Chain A
Amino acid sequence: MMSAAVSTPTMPQQPRRRKKNVSASVLFDEPGPRAKRKIAVANTIGILVFVALVVLVLMRLHNPPQGQNQLSAALWKPAVSGDAWINFYLPGLLGTLKASVAAVIGSVIFGIIFGIGRLVPTRIVRAICSVIVEFCRAVPVLMFMIFFWRWFSSMGISDQAAFYAVVLGLILYNGSVIAELVRSGVGNLPKGQREAATALGMSPLRSLLSVEVPQAVIAMLPAAVTQLVVVLKDTALGSIIVYAELLQESRRLGSSYFNILQTLVIATIIYFIICWLLSKFAEWLPKRMQRRTTGDAQTEPLAPIAILDASNRSQIAVAKESEELPFGGAPLQHHVRYQGSNAAIQDWQHVEYVQGYDFMHPETQIDMRSLQIPDFIKPIIPGLDSDKRKDD
């Protein structure tokens, strides 16, 4: 025990290690020598189990019961050859991208129109828009696609029916999600924005259109990019109604050489790369967008669940009032004052009252976000920012 602890000369390495572990997780203590050994053992076992799994899968691929070797070059070669790319993958990818771009443009237009429609002062317009948006959110996209496909085919536009069906199905669903994003974006703006607009003599509708919605749209952009990943993934549903997109084309290629498994792997890799790049872009975007809005630029479009609940305040947002990420987890998605997208913004005082916020005495309510740690209290971390401060 003792000798093991003493004989590890880790003095120079220690600071680096400690820093890394503390920032990674605080669920467990800085491991001591015994815990370190345990972790090393668990690590080895974990890697071994993973390797064993991979080997099992490869063995099954190599020698499936009453089947041919799935790893043979005869099956993989047609799946990655130049002809396959030119005749199948690239046209398929083009079909996927065409449908995605059309669907994104359409759903942004749909979303902004219906998002504003759910916020205007006229009650009847709000009600109609609410019913449409809630309906489109509840019905599976595939249902829309099959319905439109059959409908357009029966109307006689058979050559493009699948394309229009895919695009329209995607627009209705994703547009309603964007409508909710616009609405929650407006709900998340500081109240001062509307108050200032009213003080300038704007009508509620004017303030909505020229002050609140533009900022909400900017705050919504990162989430809309994340939604783009959903659109791209959902175009694959088009293969069920035989729209010639990437999945459908790789199936066609696979059925001619009896190597569907191999062509699907290639298609999966293409989908993964595009979606992964898009989600990384969406994570990077809020930092840029935050400068141009008083709202909270969100990464993740959180589909609101609360139907008929005026104060759909996310309990996660309630519990999390600081920017800390205790267990190295997902970043905070909502403003402290997040009202949820089903919140009736006309009724914010009542909602705040129900939530326990004393609006009559705002000075007694602590908003963690406004807490600024004075510079002189901040610890000086050697090598990080001390040099800069010395200059001052």
Chain B
Amino acid sequence: MNVLINLFSNYNIVGAFVVNIELTLWSALFSLILGVLLVTMRISPVSSLRAFASGYVELFKNMPLTIIMVFMVLGVFGQLKFQFSNNFDTNFFWLATAGLSLYTAAFVCESLRSGINTVPLGQSEAARSLGLNFVQSASQIILPQAFRGAVAPLGNTFIALLKNSTVAAAASVATESSSLMSTMIEDNANAIIAIFLIFAFGYVILIIPIGLLTTWLSNKLAVRR
């Protein structure tokens, strides 16, 4: 018990989880915007946009996240001198967010596409017969229903995103949880199992409510047909 109290008073464990949650929320926002854009391009009648979107998805689905993170810091920042802020910590945070968003957007696009498959053919035919053009029928008929059908895969994507936010360690975000765990183990080698369990259960506690919420939402929002 004393060990635990010591650990919690000496290290900002809650703060580390907050960094991960911040990373997750910002990346979720940006990847959602990018993912909606990509899926719209992917179902559009314009073939060059379709090709671009599917190329993007294939590329990022088949690339390790770690390499994107390393690329962000050593390539984009280190060699191209592209930076978000003069403060190192803020800069690395936003570089990691950019990497996570680019990566997750591909998976958001795939989730939404499987959501679009839940929309019956008649919906788009009805929209067309009302005289709606592609943009109107996509934004008012298809995508709203697709979102409701895609709650479960989107929830999966965001759970994966929360877990992936630990990979920000590869982008030199030193305050997030996996980096802090590494430092803590280095300093208190005898309490290694206790430290691991603290962080592991932290993630279990974060992820179970998201899973429950997703299940509840996907049942509540599903369009009964």
Majority DSSP secondary structure for residues of A touching B: helix
Q: Is the CB of B120 within 8 A of A326?
A: yes
Q: Is the CB of A271 within 8 A of B62?
A: yes
Residues of A within 8 A of B49 (CB): 42-43, 46
Distance in angstroms from A28 CB to nearest chain B CB is 5
Q: Is the CB of B219 within 8 A of A315?
A: yes
B:112-128 near A, CB below 8 Å: 113-121, 124-125, 128
Complex-state Cα separation, A56 to B82, whole angstroms: 13
Q: Does A204 contact B (CB under 8 A)?
A: no
- Chain A 371-387 interface 0/1 with B at a Cβ cutoff of 8 Å (1 = within): 00000000000000000
Distance in angstroms from B210 CB to nearest chain A CB is 8
Q: Is the CB of A327 within 8 A of B156?
A: no
Using A135-B200, A142-B166, A240-B170 as known contacts, say yes or no to A64 and B181 having CB atoms under 8 A apart: no
Task: State which of B81, B121, B166 has its C-beta within 8 Å of the C-beta of A324.
Answer: B121
Task: State which of B62, B185, B222 has its C-beta within 8 Å of the C-beta of A146.
Answer: B185
Complex-state Cα separation, A47 to B41, whole angstroms: 13
Distance in angstroms from A357 CB to nearest chain B CB is 14
Q: Is the CB of B81 within 8 A of A66?
A: yes
Q: Does B35 contact A (CB under 8 A)?
A: no
Distance in angstroms from A304 CB to nearest chain B CB is 8
Q: Does A206 contact B (CB under 8 A)?
A: no
Q: Is the CB of A272 within 8 A of B59?
A: yes
Residues of B within 8 A of A142 (CB): 166-167, 169, 178
Task: Name the CB-closest residue of B to A61.
Answer: B80
Q: Is the CB of A140 within 8 A of B164?
A: yes
Task: Name the CB-closest residue of A to B124.
Answer: A27
Task: Name the CB-closest residue of A to B221.
Answer: A315
5 pairs of residues in contact across A and B, judged by CB atoms under 8 Å: A27-B43, A138-B203, A139-B200, A254-B74, A272-B62
Q: Does B192 contact A (CB under 8 A)?
A: yes
Q: Does B97 contact A (CB under 8 A)?
A: no
- Chain A 42-84 interface 0/1 with B at a Cβ cutoff of 8 Å (1 = within): 1100110010000000001100111100100000000000000
Besides A271-B63, A319-B118, 6 more A-B contacts (Cβ < 8 Å) are: A26-B124, A139-B203, A272-B59, A275-B62, A319-B225, A320-B117
Majority DSSP secondary structure for residues of B touching A: helix
Using A326-B120, A326-B121, A330-B114 as known contacts, say yes or no to A47 and B71 having CB atoms under 8 A apart: no
Q: Does A268 contact B (CB under 8 A)?
A: yes
Q: Does B151 contact A (CB under 8 A)?
A: yes
Distance in angstroms from B72 CB to nearest chain A CB is 10
Residues of A within 8 A of B142 (CB): 27, 327
A:10-57 near B, CB below 8 Å: 25-29, 31, 35, 39, 42-43, 46-47, 50
Q: Is the CB of B149 within 8 A of A143?
A: no
Distance in angstroms from B141 CB to nearest chain A CB is 10
Q: Does A307 contact B (CB under 8 A)?
A: yes
A:123-177 near B, CB below 8 Å: 134-135, 138-143, 146-147, 150-151, 154
Task: Name the CB-closest residue of B to A279.
Answer: B62
B:5-34 near A, CB below 8 Å: none
Distance in angstroms from A105 CB to nearest chain B CB is 21
Q: Is the CB of A261 within 8 A of B215?
A: no
Distance in angstroms from A161 CB to nearest chain B CB is 13
Complex-state Cα separation, A314 to B214, whole angstroms: 11
Complex-state Cα separation, A240 to B64, whole angstroms: 13
Q: Is the CB of B115 within 8 A of A264?
A: no
Q: Is the CB of B67 within 8 A of A31?
A: no
Task: Name the CB-closest residue of A to B137.
Answer: A27
Q: Across the A-B interface, give the 8 residue pairs with the lowest CB-CB distance, nearest first.
A: A236-B64, A275-B62, A46-B48, A319-B118, A261-B75, A236-B66, A315-B222, A140-B163
